[in-house]
Amino acid sequence: MINHLITQKNWQTQLSDAITSVDELLSILQLQSVRSQVYIPKYFELRVPRAFVAKMVVGDANDPLLKQVLPDKQEQEVVIGYVADPLGENSQNPTKGLLHKYQSRVLLTITGACAIHCRYCFRQHFDYSANMPTADAQADIIAYITANPQINEVILSGGDPLSVSNRRLFAWLDILEGIAQLTTIRLHTRLPIVIPARLDNDLLDRLSQSRCAIVMVIHCNHANEIDTLTAEALQRAWSAGITMLNQAVLLKGINDSTATQVALSERLFGAGVLPYYLHVLDKVSGAAHFDHDEQVAIELYWSLLTVLPGYLVPKLVRELTNRPFKVPVDIYKHR
């Protein structure tokens, strides 16, 4: 259960008070014995909110939440095929802050900041400093969208779009809602999972009043990430009329069993969130130790089909460079 003193703090305070010291994290979890397996990255350093740490099991070096954020020396191994830009996003960047890979939608990287640094993040090497849309770039973004009438949806991403202030986020919403062709605004975020207080009344009220359909795609990999407080926050968003979806990444030793995936889908549904995607890991450098052979993912998917109702089975997909859609994994391969 999340410590009461942590939850009493507003989300901005929790965001700024995130743990960035490996030694502090290991001390809190009483895991100093694993210090020799950990390293201190020069870039993409440890960052994890205390509310998320409070969901971890003290003394358990294999805690599935801890393993997602603790820098492991295996990250330093160079593995062929794992690269800095696994999705080729640098070539899909027509104007500053804008990625256009899918025909009917574009993605805005409105911030490079995240509340948490997940060690498998496919954008951990992304050059955010060169891609933050400035005030001047906003006009270019509007012009690009209006020049492409097939675009009807904008995805706010980053980084994490909910790591910016309500004032800044609402300003972007105002701009996008002023583009007549847009019908949907989507937010890809991990904040509601790692700092549930981010779903505050001001945010939910503003989103519920949008002229566009609002879709919030959260990122949750394990049922333990959704405790009572987190579930209540997600349910409030759902009650505000926001479509709530989840995308997870298949991670070796974390959520790669039928039991963990079933628990995740059921916990999500209880919180008003539908499973959307289960991603095969993007082959980003430093994350090879999280990856599985594709056949493991396929067998897991068939197992989920036998246990869960169809609406609780996420789509098994991978993202490939220069493909204008998420690519469904061939579940009939080797069968």
Domain boundary (24, 46, 76) is at: 76
Structural domain includes residue 81: no
Structural domain includes residue 30: yes
Q: If phi over 0 gives left and psi between -120 and 50 gives alpha, with beta otherwise, what is residue 16?
A: alpha
Average pLDDT for residues 277-305, to the nearest whole number?
94
Average pLDDT for residues 171-200, to the nearest whole number?
97
Range in 67-76, 94-103, 278-287 the model is least confident about: 94-103
Residues 318, 293, single domain; the answer is: yes
Per-residue pLDDT, 1: 43
Average pLDDT for residues 165-188, to the nearest whole number?
97
What gap in Å lies between CA 40 and CA 42, rounded to an integer? 7
Residues 119, 12, single domain; the answer is: no
Helix axes 228-239, 201-208, angle to 10 degrees: 30
Task: For residue 190, give the nearest of 63, 5, 18 by alpha carbon.
Answer: 18
Structural domain includes residue 333: no
- State which residues form the domain around 230: 89-328
Residue 5's pLDDT band (boundaries 50, 70, 90)? low
Residues 26, 146, single domain; the answer is: no
Q: If phi over 0 gives left and psi between -120 and 50 gives alpha, with beta otherwise, what is residue 241?
A: left
Residues 190, 232, single domain; the answer is: yes
Residues 143, 236, single domain; the answer is: yes
The total number of structural domains that make up the chain:
2
Q: Report the predicted TM-score, pTM, of the whole model to 2 decimal places.
A: 0.93
Residues 69, 107, single domain; the answer is: no
Domain CATH code at residue 101: 3.20.20.70
Residues 149, 70, single domain; the answer is: no
Residues 163, 62, single domain; the answer is: no
Residues 70, 104, single domain; the answer is: no
Model pLDDT for residues 19-72, shown as the tens digit of each residue = 999 999 999 999 999 999 999 988 889 999 999 999 999 999 999 999 999 999
